[in-house]
Structure 1
């Protein structure tokens, strides 16, 4: 697999995403459903945004690992949140996770009216191999 980041500007670097990722010679692609703060028994978390974000990240990592992929190969990451005011104080922790895994992904952040039950954040990823 060959990845090429297209980033005509530098301002997005501090926001932990790139403008585009070209991927050639892909062996396979994993399309992950949105992963949120849902416990192993299927119950939704009612915790604060920081706690929900950490659980959503753990759930996304587990899906990616169990499929035989690596987080560093996430090429698209959509973030859905019910409150950008609550999410952005957590942005530093989110950025640390991106940096730790050396992820260089195209990303879109959405504020939505609601997510399922008590959920506040959901992560939807595309991963290549």
Structure 2
């Protein structure tokens, strides 16, 4: 796989994403459904934003790993939240996870009216190898 990052500016680097990612010579692609703070038993979390973000990241990583992919292969990461102002104080948790895995991805962050049941944040990814 060849990956090329396109960043005409520098400011996005502090926000842990790329303006565009070009990928060539892909072996395979994994499209991951939105991962949230739902337990292995299917129970939606009613915890705070920080806890839900941490659990959503763990669930995303679990799906990617179980599929035989590496988190470093994430090329697109969409973040959905019911309250951007509650997510921002904990955004460093996501940024540290991105840095830990050497991920360079295109990202969209959207505030939505609601998510499933009591959920506050959802992470959707496209992963290549």
Structure-1-length-normalised TM-score: 0.99
SS of aligned partner of 1:32: strand
For residue 34 of structure 1, what is the aligned residue in structure 2? 34
Query: How does 1:68-83 map onto structure 2 within 5 Å?
Result: 68-83=68-83
- For each residue in 1:88-107, what CA deviation from the matched residue of structure 2 results, as whole angstroms up to 9, or x when unmatched? 00111111111011000000
Shift of 1:33: 0.2
The 2-side partners of 1:29 and 1:21 are apart by: 14
The 2-side partners of 1:124 and 1:76 are apart by: 8
For residue 109 of structure 1, what is the aligned residue in structure 2? 109
Query: How does 1:28-107 map onto structure 2 within 5 Å?
Result: 28-107=28-107
Structure-2-length-normalised TM-score: 0.99
Shift of 1:109: 0.1
The 2-side partners of 1:102 and 1:48 are apart by: 27
SS of aligned partner of 2:87: helix
Shift of 1:108: 0.3
The 2-side partners of 1:70 and 1:7 are apart by: 23
The 1-side partners of 2:21 and 2:106 are apart by: 6
Task: Please give the root-mean-square deviation of Cα atoms over the aligned residues, in Å.
Answer: 0.4
SS of aligned partner of 1:34: strand
For residue 5 of structure 2, what is the aligned residue in structure 1? 5
Q: Stretches of 4+ moved more than 2 A in 1?
A: none
